Amino acid sequence: TDQSKIRNFSIIAHIDHGKSTLSDRLIELCGAVEQRQMESQLLDNMDLEKERGITIKARAVRLDYRAEDGNTYALNLIDTPGHVDFNYEVSRSLAACEGAVLIVDASQGIEAQTLANTYLAMEHDLEILPVINKIDLPAADPKRVKEEIENILALPAEDAPEISAKQGINISAVLEDIVQNIPAPQGNPSAPLKALIFDSQYDPYVGVVVYFRVMEGTLKKGMQVRMMASGASYQVLDCGYLRPLGMDSCQELTAGEVGWFTASIKNVKDTRVGDTITGAEVPAAAPLPGYRPAQPMVYCGIYTEDGSKYPDLRDALEKLQLNDASLSFEPESSIALGFGFRCGFLGMLHMEIIQERLEREFDLDLVTTLPSVIYEVTKTDGTVVRVDNPHNYPDPGSISEAREPYAKVSIISPPDYVGNIMPMCQDRRGVFKDMQYLDTNLVELHYSMPIGEIIYDFFDALKARTKGYASLDYELEGYEKSDLVKVDLLLNGDQVDALSFIVHREKAYGRARRICEKLKENIPRQLFEVPVQAAIGGKIIARETVKAMRKDVLAKCYGGDITRKKKLLEKQKEGKKKMRTLGTVQLPTEAFMAVLKLD
Ligand code: GTP
């Protein structure tokens, strides 16, 4: 394809501002798919997959658009995931583009992700085209939103298309804007190959499908390629373009083009997002900048409710990992929960997605432990350990310094809610950095906050206390020294390893008390009294008691037959003992889940 007739772009937006809806409209307007077909595509995705023997994931599509100037352009629309957990994937997708369409909801205006994504696009020197969406809503105020865009983002917005993606109003203005204002790609088609991987996906029939953008040179069918970071080398079996309803094969893709290739690759680990594809025979001198391996931020233990399902859980995790290079897992065992896995995730959303897929696609009933970040501990002997499972936290006596990860947090909100937000952040040990008025009705607050405090309920709490108006963005800032303690939970005097957690000393009492209360509520009464205790290094800091459901064995004894009484009591004690050991282990799953859902 003639480079001057190619446009590579992403659509960026705050969540719910209409990215998917506009994408669908663009696809439809380019005549690629009829409305009816599109609906059936969504509904019958599974059948479609079977038919084609290939998994369709519209991470990028190529549209042919006949512009008003009479030329036909190839528009490559590259999708970006919409959540902070996947910021790195977003950055690689943007690196594959020359421009970005920035959607802003005409009734909401600029929100946190609008800013965060715009900054990202600016970092990649993209041409940014603002588009005002949802003008059909009664609350739409395009004029105000345009002013916001000019004042806050310093982007010219006067001529920004005002559209309704939902009702299909003014969509062609967006396409013309793209053709006229996003620069065509550059790059020498005969230079050594350099192509950027922005996504890859495992397909059971053809192996991994690698999605890439050619920056320099040409990728040809049959050619031997090498991934510069992973070192893996493969022969390209097939390559082509991505179409809305499937994949077209072609002989080669040249500089500026976006497409896919397959090579019977067994695992996405070989083709990680951000890696550079080059020719094995004539390799590029240096890879494209910006590669970084995925780094899990949140860990938790995953177990099956039914211990015998452990092998199924392992198979399921292995299958998911084929497709998700950022999911990590290692076997671990817990006295309370049996055999399971310690899994690492990019963030809480990633964790929830994986848990849900395990339950839904693999039909597993899971028990998960409290999520935890990775702590760093320098021991008195000078060694440094990274702790992803609270149970393995070193003895207090052997610790010379403990550190926890902090995030740079940005919160954007109408000024009215600042009074609610600040105490919340403080309560979560946030260190206030600064506050700026972006506009008369929008402020941005910056905090440095422990990630361990964010992962619990911060996002939900923030939404609740700002009627949903505030939005949140965060990224890892680094590790800082912290006064951390490990809290153990004891049931009937026995430690339940899966319930241990690491927390800042100041927070230890509060959280310990709440967990004990939750456990008390959820443990059914047993024949004996069950103390529920929380302890730091053997010192009890909180206690609740599950009262015994006492069977009155003495009721049968009339009068003073003391020996018989004694015998009965003796017997009951034995019974108690049995129950005790059982009781410790047989903490009902519901009780576990209740504790884990604390906060
Ligand atoms: P995520 O995929 O969750 O990031 O959201 P998104 O940004 O892709 O937004 P999506 O396209 O899913 O739209 C969010 C909601 O806004 C949906 O309920 C859409 O129907 C609605 N919506 C999108 N465009 C318009 C519009 O022009 N007018 C109105 N009234 N609603 C719209």
Mind listing the pLDDT tens digit of every residue in the chain (599 residues)? 799 999 999 999 988 899 989 988 998 888 765 555 555 444 334 444 444 433 344 578 899 999 999 999 999 999 877 666 777 788 888 999 999 999 999 999 998 778 878 888 888 899 999 999 999 999 999 999 999 999 988 999 999 999 999 999 999 999 999 999 999 999 999 999 999 999 888 888 889 999 999 999 999 999 999 999 999 999 999 999 988 777 889 999 999 999 999 999 988 888 988 999 999 999 999 999 988 877 788 899 999 988 889 999 999 998 888 778 789 999 998 877 889 999 999 887 788 888 888 988 889 988 888 888 999 999 999 999 999 888 889 988 899 999 999 999 989 888 999 999 999 999 999 999 999 998 777 899 999 999 998 887 788 888 889 887 787 888 889 999 999 999 998 888 888 888 889 999 998 999 899 889 888 887 777 767 888 999 998 899 999 988 876 655 555 545 555 566 666 556 555 544 333 333 443 566 666 666 666 55
pLDDT (0 to 100) of residue 193: 97
State in Å: Cα 368 to ligand 1 middle: 33
Nearest-CA residue for ligand 1 atom 20 is 166
Distance, in Å, from the CA atom of 91 to the CA atom of 120, rounded to the nearest integer, reads 7
- Closest listed residue to residue 218, CA positions, set 383, 368, 3, 400: 3
* Dihedral of alpha carbons 364, 457, 391, 350, sign: positive
Burial class (CB in 10 A: 0-12, 13-18, 19+), 190: exposed
Q: What is the DSSP letter of 554?
A: G
Assign residue 284 a region (left: φ > 0; alpha: ψ between -120 and 50; beta: otherwise).
Answer: beta
Secondary structure of 129-140 in HEC code, one letter for each residue: EEEEECCCCCCC
Radius of gyration of the chain (CA): 29
Residue position matching structure tokens 């390799």: 283
Distances in whole angstroms, Cα of residue 121 to Cα of each of 96, 101, 231: 11, 10, 29
State in Å: Cα 20 to ligand 1 middle: 7
Atom of ligand 1 lying closest to residue 137 CA:
30
Q: If residue 511 lies in a helix (H) or strand (E), which one and from where to where?
A: helix 505-522
Q: If residue 215 lies in a helix (H) or strand (E), which one and from where to where?
A: strand 207-216
Distance, in Å, from the CA atom of 45 to the CA atom of 47, rounded to the nearest integer, reads 6
pLDDT (0 to 100) of residue 464: 87
Cα 415 versus chain centre, distance: 29
User: What was the ipTM of the complex prediction?
Assistant: 0.97
State in Å: Cα 237 to ligand 1 middle: 38
Q: Rounded to 5 degrees, what angle do the CA atoms 428, 431, 435 make?
A: 110
State in Å: Cα 193 to ligand 1 middle: 38
State in Å: Cα 85 to ligand 1 middle: 21
Atom of ligand 1 lying closest to residue 17 CA:
7
Nearest-CA residue for ligand 1 atom 32 is 166
Atom of ligand 1 lying closest to residue 103 CA:
7
State in Å: Cα 67 to ligand 1 middle: 26
**End-to-end CA separation in angstroms for the chain:** 55
SS3 279: strand
State in Å: Cα 523 to ligand 1 middle: 44
Atom of ligand 1 lying closest to residue 82 CA:
4
Phi first, then psi: give them for residue 47, nearest 5 degrees: -60, -40
Please check whether residue 594 is in contact with residue 522, taking contact to mean a CB–CB distance below 8 angstroms: yes
Nearest-CA residue for ligand 1 atom 28 is 134
Distances in whole angstroms, Cα of residue 228 to Cα of each of 216, 321, 526: 14, 21, 61
Q: What is the CB < 6 Å shell around ligand 1?
A: 13, 15-21, 82, 133-134, 136-137, 164-166
pLDDT (0 to 100) of residue 105: 97
Nearest-CA residue for ligand 1 atom 18 is 16
pLDDT (0 to 100) of residue 596: 64
- Helix residue spans in 323-447 (DSSP H): 348-361, 418-427
Q: Rounded to 5 degrees, what angle do the CA atoms 114, 475, 129 make?
A: 25
State in Å: Cα 466 to ligand 1 middle: 21
Cα 409 versus chain centre, distance: 16
Burial class (CB in 10 A: 0-12, 13-18, 19+), 102: buried
SS3 86: helix
SS3 317: helix
Atom of ligand 1 lying closest to residue 21 CA:
11
Cα 416 versus chain centre, distance: 30
Q: Ligand 1: which of 20, 42, 83, 101 to mutate, judged by most atoms within 8 Å of the beta carbon?
A: 20
Distances in whole angstroms, Cα of residue 194 to Cα of each of 3, 86, 95, 385: 16, 24, 13, 38
Distance, in Å, from the CA atom of 538 to the CA atom of 521, rounded to the nearest integer, reads 24
Query: What DSSP string describes 36-63?
Result: HHHHHHHHTHHHHHHHHTS----SEEEE
Phi first, then psi: give them for residue 199, nearest 5 degrees: -170, 160
Binding residues for GTP: 16-21, 133-136
Cα 587 versus chain centre, distance: 31
Nearest-CA residue for ligand 1 atom 21 is 18
Distance, in Å, from the CA atom of 534 to the CA atom of 512, rounded to the nearest integer, reads 6
Query: What DSSP string describes 4-32?
Result: GGEEEEEEEESTTSSHHHHHHHHHHHTTS
- Closest listed residue to residue 63, CA positions, set 18, 131, 8, 127: 8
Distance, in Å, from the CA atom of 6 to the CA atom of 127, rounded to the nearest integer, reads 15
* Helix 112-123 / helix 87-95 crossing angle, nearest 10 deg: 40
Nearest-CA residue for ligand 1 atom 23 is 18
Distance, in Å, from the CA atom of 176 to the CA atom of 95, rounded to the nearest integer, reads 22
pLDDT (0 to 100) of residue 581: 34
Phi first, then psi: give them for residue 117, nearest 5 degrees: -70, -35
Binding residues: 16-21, 133-136
Strand 328-334 versus strand 238-243 pairing type: unpaired
pTM of this structure: 0.77
pLDDT (0 to 100) of residue 421: 96
Please check whether residue 20 is in contact with residue 58, taking contact to mean a CB–CB distance below 8 angstroms: no
Atom of ligand 1 lying closest to residue 163 CA:
27
pLDDT (0 to 100) of residue 512: 92
Q: Rounded to 5 degrees, what angle do the CA atoms 173, 72, 253 make?
A: 120
